[in-house]
Amino acid sequence: MPRYRLTNARLPCYKSQNDQSPQDLWIEDGKIVAIVPSIQEFIDPPPIKLDLDGDWLSLGGMDLQINGALGLAFPDVTIDSGEKIIEINQFLWTQGIDAYCPTIVTAAISQIQTALAGFAKFKSQYNLQPNQATIAGIHLEGPFLNPAKRGAHPKEHILPLTIDNLKRVLDDYASLVKIITLAPEMEAETGAIEYLTSLGINVSLGHSLATAAQANHAFTSGATMVTHAFNAMPSLHHRTPGLLGSAIINPNVSCGFIADGQHITPLMIDILLRASDYDRGLFLVSDALSPLGLPDGHYPWDSRTIEVTHGTARLPDGTLSGTTLSLLVGVQNLMKWGLCNLEQAIAMATITPRIAIHADFNINTAQGRLLRWSQHQPGTWQQIIL
């Protein structure tokens, strides 16, 4: 049985775990079996395989909002998309992503269910391979949005938020859905959020004009997330704090945000980070579209076309529709802009997304791979295969 150790590693911490002293990870048969202080002496310790020289070591990234890659938009998935999903999973793994939530944006109910059926078939027929990212569950971004804040979502497919409509959309695939983004003020009857949480679905507020009172009611009802903070919602205002103001001060709510420099300016990200206590209340998302992994250019997007320029995608009328930048570019940008320390930036791509959906975020549960982050070139990473 292979036995060795990685020494002098620093591990991103969360909440009360503030020990940044170097640690040794003891590996047996490709699994972490112990994490001990590097200075501690043991009788017959495993041989050192790699000295990390104080670099950070983390799980791979988890992207909770990604709309497609390599030319496939996730709403277009069918039962025949298995090989393409494998290709995407392999690509995302090369981008440092270990897990993700394929995001299905607002579309006709029939199309949503076709995509859900395609992912259900994939999960039932394909086994995880060592060089692939895993699907953590589906993120439905819509169709229960506020038409006035729909952004690039097609208005004709937006639905009132009712339990009957939720049942129509989810059909037999509720167990596959991990997150649903909705506008709470569009609730046409009480109990919709409670119904979703009873199914184990994480409710995220977004594409919304909710007041602070409406947002607070949604949080009390079980909503625990906000979708791409600042985007598709009113900005912070000193007399009408709205959804975002209520979310920032709620310790039980996590806000996703896009750090591409286009969706939010670095100055506003700085304000968001300070107000939300950095990795205590925020997580990075890519919001990447189907041209992720492809060069800039014009690409089909539902019945429309998007133009990708320097990694930013827009509709012909100029509406911002997403990016083609991968999740960990956000970590690099946060460091480039000097908005937080490296530990916090790493945590917002690897730890807090997992916490937001109640997934295991302990490094000793890693599935055979980790990311090493250079302390000398912040934001630079490389994969380590256990």
- Active site residues per annotation: 287
Q: Are 182 and 144 in contact (CB under 8 A)?
A: yes
Measure the CA–CA gap between 48 and 262, rounded to whole angstroms. 44
Rg (CA), the chain: 21
Show the tokens assigned to 128: 């995880």
With left for phi above 0 and alpha for psi between -120 and 50, is residue 269 left, alpha or beta? alpha
CA distances from 135 to 30, 62, 111, 162, 175 (A): 22, 10, 20, 28, 13
* Structure tokens, 37: 């202080």
How far the first Cα of the chain sits from its last, in Å, is 13
Q: How far is CA 338 from CA 17, 95, 259, 333, in A?
A: 23, 23, 12, 8
Other beta carbons within 10 Å of 237: 10
Cβ atoms of 160 and 188 within 8 Å: the answer is yes
CA 358 vs. chain centroid, Å, equals 13
Residues 255 and 248 sit within 8 Å (Cβ to Cβ): yes
Which has the closest alpha carbon to 287: 107, 86, 103, 87? Answer: 103
CA-to-CA distance for 79 and 63, rounded, in angstroms? 23
